[in-house]
Amino acid sequence: MDFDVLVHEAWPAYEQRVHDGWVLRYAGGVTKRANSVLPLHAPADLGGAIEAAEAFYDTRGQRCVFSLGLNAAPGLDEELERRGYDLVDPTVIMAGAPGNAPGYKVRIQDRPWRGWLETWWAVDGRYGAGVEDAERICTGVPAWYAAYEEDGVALSVGRGVPQKDMLGVYCMATLPGARRRGLARAVLRALVGHAGARSAYLVTTARNEGAQALYRGEGFEIAGSYHYRVAGVPVRAADAPAG
């Protein structure tokens, strides 16, 4: 399973440029995933490809970021380290075939509504401004948006992206005051059940052991990993891409 490509397709940058086998992605600086180089193939000129990537992000006021998964070109990680790129946000990919009933009534729509966006951004909005760019990323491919609501407020949300017989699960977020009630489990189960997919995957930071434990309880296990290499200091701190 090529999770590098699955994640790339499920979280699409609205500006993409291919250079020497690499995909240079930009989406307003919102999330490193959509504002980083995806090095799918070994370039003919490694140094030249790195410099082209750096120029691409420099013209957009962003530091250069590489997403390095199992398919990254041999020697690239070591070369970036030699050039002073920092290793950040080790991330695990978890996959499984969950099939439990939600236990709660969960609302699912094929577009994110205002309440869904507000809850996700309240939890995951680490980027300051940029919710419009985030919504543009989310809606760049067909997806389902799920939420458990009380009194019209979305307490827990998630996003499911159908990818052939696989479902990509993203944007899992629960408001702090609503945690430890099983709401995230309900949202996850509702998305998987709605999709009717044979298997699903999701991503979470390697340090988030609590989330990993929750997902293991739902039948997911670690199936891959990736990390980022980030160059220098961002041109504008407020625009620094994250997560």
- Indicate the DSSP class of residue 85: P
Is the distance from CB of 23 to CB of 37 less than 8 angstroms? yes
- Indicate the DSSP class of residue 237: G
Q: Comparing 82 with 126, which gets the higher pLDDT?
A: 82
Identity of the residue numbered 181: R
| Residues 139-146, mean pLDDT to the nearest whole number | 97
What is the rounded average pLDDT for all residues in the chain? 92
Secondary structure element (H or E) that encloses residue 144, with its range: strand 144-150
β-sheet bridge partners, residue 71: none
Q: Which residues contact 129 (CB under 8 A, 6 or more apart)?
A: 238
Q: What is the value of pTM for the model shown?
A: 0.90
Sign of CA dihedral 152, 243, 180, 192: positive
| Residues 99-115, mean pLDDT to the nearest whole number | 93
Confidence at residue 1, expressed as pLDDT on a 0 to 100 scale: 82
Measured N-to-C along each axis, helices 183-195 and 209-217 cross at an angle, to the nearest 10 degrees, of: 50
Confidence at residue 99, expressed as pLDDT on a 0 to 100 scale: 81
Is the distance from CB of 57 to CB of 15 less than 8 angstroms? no
Confidence at residue 237, expressed as pLDDT on a 0 to 100 scale: 34
Confidence at residue 71, expressed as pLDDT on a 0 to 100 scale: 86
Q: In the structure, what pLDDT confidence band is assigned to residue 86 with cuts at 50, 70 and 90?
A: very high
Q: In the structure, what pLDDT confidence band is assigned to residue 126 with cuts at 50, 70 and 90?
A: low
Confidence at residue 236, expressed as pLDDT on a 0 to 100 scale: 39
- The residue among 129, 134, 135, 118 whose CA lies nearest residue 173 is 118
- Indicate the DSSP class of residue 154: E
Report the range of poorest mean pLDDT among 135-139, 152-156, 239-243. Answer: 239-243
C-alpha 142/C-alpha 12 separation (Å) is 11
Confidence at residue 101, expressed as pLDDT on a 0 to 100 scale: 85
| Residues 195-202, mean pLDDT to the nearest whole number | 94
C-alpha 160/C-alpha 106 separation (Å) is 13
Report the range of poorest mean pLDDT among 61-70, 121-130, 192-201. Answer: 121-130
- The residue among 169, 158, 165 whose CA lies nearest residue 199 is 165
